[in-house]
Structure formats: C-alpha cells, structure tokens
Amino acid sequence: MSSYRILFVCMGNICRSPTADGVMRHKVRALGLEPWVQVDSAGTHNYHPNSPPDARSQQHAAQRGYDLSALRARQMTEADFEAFDLVLAMDWDNLALAQALCPPQHQHKVRRMTEFCRQYDDAVVPDPYYGGAAGFEQVLDLVEDACDGLIAHVRQVRPVQTR
C-alpha cells in the first residue's frame, strides 16, 4: 500500500507549517503510522530558504513535546501538487496562492488545515509571527486538533493497522 502524503503550507514556512509538520510527524510516529503517512511543509514565499523554524515556534512546540529542530524552510513548487495527496494551507491568502500555483487536475487536493479541526471552529490558523506567546499557543491548539482530524481522515481513505 502506498503512503498518504500531506504537505502543510504557510507563507514563509517558519512558524505555522513547520509546527503542523512536527506535530503530525509526532502523532504519526506515536501511532505507528510512519509506513503509511508522510508529511512535509513548505512556504508560498521563498523568504527563509533552508532556515530552521522560528525560535518561538520551536520553543512552544518543545514545551508540548514536539521537536521541530530538524525541519528546514523551503518554497512550495508545482511538483508538490503531484507528489502530495493533500496540500493544506494555514489561511485564506496562502490557500489562494496555492490554488493559483496548482495545476487544474490537482485542485481537489488543496484545502485549509482547519477543515480537519474537530474541537475548534476557526476558519484559519492565524500567523503568530508579529504577536506574542499566546499566538504560538493558539497555533499549537489548532494544529493539534486538526492533526487528530487528519489522522481520522487518513484512516478512512487508507485503512491501516495501527498499534
């Protein structure tokens, strides 16, 4: 069985999308889903090529047990739409940018991250970059919730045995 591939997308790939990447990797590993679920993250802009996640994102994630330190920023490419089963944007602007880059045959793959939330009904994962600690915590709350919904989604579309 082939793996299910998920790409998380925000603007610069240093706050929200690497947080989602790290949280989802952690949850996938904990559930023994690594052979079936692969994740990555990218930015719609090339602001921080090959940079690690924002130190504040790393700090807040680490406080919840997630290690983002190995992740590096990259810009989303048209090839990503072929390679991934889902391309999840963090907000409306990045959704529009992803849709504009996406070839017509892959438009169905491009969605908002918060569509998978089960507990929260926020439309977007807000950008915490210019704010304080509360913004990074809110990102983690929304991302954790959405990742739980994503795991349920993956189990529906690709049933696998888990621990």
Q: What percent of the chain has pLDDT over 70?
A: 97
Cα dihedral value 146, 51, 37, 120, nearest 10: 0
What is the pLDDT, as a whole number, of residue 110? 98
**Domain boundaries along the sequence of the chain:** 4-157
Which SS3 state, helix, strand or coil, does residue 147 take? helix
| Alpha helical stretches, state H, the chain | 16-30, 55-63, 79-83, 92-101, 133-157
What is the pLDDT, as a whole number, of residue 73? 98
Closest CA to 88 of 122, 66, 49, 114: 114
Going by their DSSP bridges, the two strands 86-89 and 4-10 should be labelled as parallel
Domain 4-157 has CATH 3.40.50.2300: yes
Residue 113 and residue 146 in contact, taking contact as beta carbons nearer than 8 Å: yes
Q: pLDDT tens-digit profile of 19-62?
A: 999 999 999 999 999 999 999 999 999 999 999 999 999 999 99
Closest CA to 110 of 140, 143, 88, 127: 88
pLDDT tens-digit profile, the chain (163 residues): 579 999 999 999 999 999 999 999 999 999 999 999 999 999 999 999 999 999 999 999 999 999 999 999 999 999 999 999 999 999 999 999 999 999 999 999 999 999 999 999 999 999 999 999 999 999 999 999 999 999 999 999 877 655 5
What is the pLDDT, as a whole number, of residue 125? 98
What is the pLDDT, as a whole number, of residue 2? 73
Instruction: Please list the active-site residues.
Output: 10, 16, 127
What is the pLDDT, as a whole number, of residue 144? 98
Closest CA to 15 of 56, 65, 76: 56
Whole-structure pTM value: 0.96
Report which residue type is found at 147: C
